[in-house]
Structure 1
Amino acid sequence: MNESITVRRVGANEASGYVEALADVLIDCVEGGASISFMLPISRATAIEFWTRVMHGIARDERILLVAENAEGHVLGTVQIVTDQPENQPHRADVAKMLVARRARRRGIAQRLLIAADEAARAAGKSVLVLDTVTGGDAERLYERAGWQRVGVVPNYALMPDGTFCGTTFFHKQLA
């Protein structure tokens, strides 16, 4: 598919207009089996409540929200950079909630979101990024290809949406 995809930062003044579309992506990913802090069945109210909290974090300058949209303005993916860190870690940020709608996968959207996350983190003065992902999942390979370094695995760290245990692999990336 030759669809035009744009990745951009969503500002605090426009963030609330994205809650519904981001809730759609979150629900789709959880229903597709992604272990991203939510269990099945996930309600729309739960997804909207989550994104509303994220929007408050953006307004307080604690998070950066990036979205990938097609030419029609439909949100296909998203990632966050959590910049609010302890006093002794002003140089670090967490990459969180990398989500790509199932219908939009295998088009390089996640890779483009990661590149934009690196750029946004650098612009925010961050030099160390960390994240975690399900052990053995597709995202592990994505992060490794994008230059992330594997730190280690914690078995039985979280639950999949269906309630089964999954391990989590931690990664870091040093931004030059």
Structure 2
Amino acid sequence: MQSNTTFSIERVDALTAFRILPELAGLLHACVHGGASIGFILPFGMEASMNFWREKVLPAVGSGGRLLFIARKDGRLAGSVQLVVDTPPNQPHRAEASKLLVDPASRRQGIARALMEVLEGEARSLGRSLITLDTRTGDKAEPLYAALGFSVAGIIPDYCRDPFLDRLDATTIMYKRLDDARAL
């Protein structure tokens, strides 16, 4: 677990995630309604948010194919990120950063950066030498990823629907090599 004076970060297992399911659903709901392009469009209700965690995330966390990290600020869930480690047999060296979420009321406080740093440390400890991710092109998260050492692999136009507007947005595919991760 990592902590600083304003928030703490911890890895949670499937049972803990199930126990905090309403908080996780509230976080996702707030982020989507705050404009985050993370796979959902409006209208997006709490039941859809609960279903995402219950059907997509919890089983993967339970099987070990996905690691879940959360950030708490003043005892309240302020952020989360997932590390997907369930990769094909020809990609045991790679992991994917997924669904970096920071509550809109807790942004610009270093939570996203800290979550990504913990995620990267865990990837290294698992011997992963490459992390990939995608983000909406021009999104506020893109400069954060670049500042953390991620490079742009390319941009795919018309990749996803905007959560609010009737338009298609591009996505930027990014990667980071972890040079000091264990060799295969």
Q: How high is the TM-score relative to the length of structure 1?
A: 0.95
Counterparts of 1:7-156 in structure 2, within 5 Å, are: 7-52=9-54, 53-72=56-75, 74-156=76-158
How many Å apart are 1:3 and its aligned residue? 5.8
Quick one: distance in 1 between partners of 2:135 and 2:38? 8
Could you list the runs of 5+ residues in structure 1 that have no partner in the other structure?
Answer: none
Residue type matched to 1:61 in 2? Answer: G
Residue type matched to 1:58 in 2? Answer: V
Quick one: distance in 2 between partners of 1:3 and 1:34? 27
Alignment: residue pair count: 174
User: What SS is found at the alignment partner of 2:15?
Assistant: coil
Task: For residues 95-127 of structure 1, give each alpha carbon's deviation from its aligned partner in whole angstroms, at most 9, with x where no partner exists.
Answer: 000010100000010000110010111122211
Report the identity percentage. 39
Residue type matched to 1:154 in 2? Answer: I
Residue type matched to 1:126 in 2? Answer: R
User: What SS is found at the alignment partner of 1:67?
Assistant: strand
How many Å apart are 1:4 and its aligned residue? 1.8
Quick one: distance in 2 between partners of 1:13 and 1:23? 15
Quick one: distance in 2 between partners of 1:12 and 1:31? 26
The equivalent of 2:178 in structure 1 is 175
User: What SS is found at the alignment partner of 1:15?
Assistant: helix
Quick one: distance in 1 between partners of 2:14 and 2:35? 30
Could you list the runs of 5+ residues in structure 2 that have no partner in the other structure?
Answer: 180-184
**Moved >4 Å (runs of 4+):** none
Quick one: distance in 2 between partners of 1:80 and 1:32? 20
| 8 Å contact from structure 1 (residues 34, 160) kept in 2 | no
Task: For residues 12-55 of structure 1, give each alpha carbon's deviation from its aligned partner in whole angstroms, at most 9, with x where no partner exists.
Answer: 33221121111111111111111111110111111011111201
Residue type matched to 1:170 in 2? Answer: I
Quick one: distance in 2 between partners of 1:175 and 1:49? 34
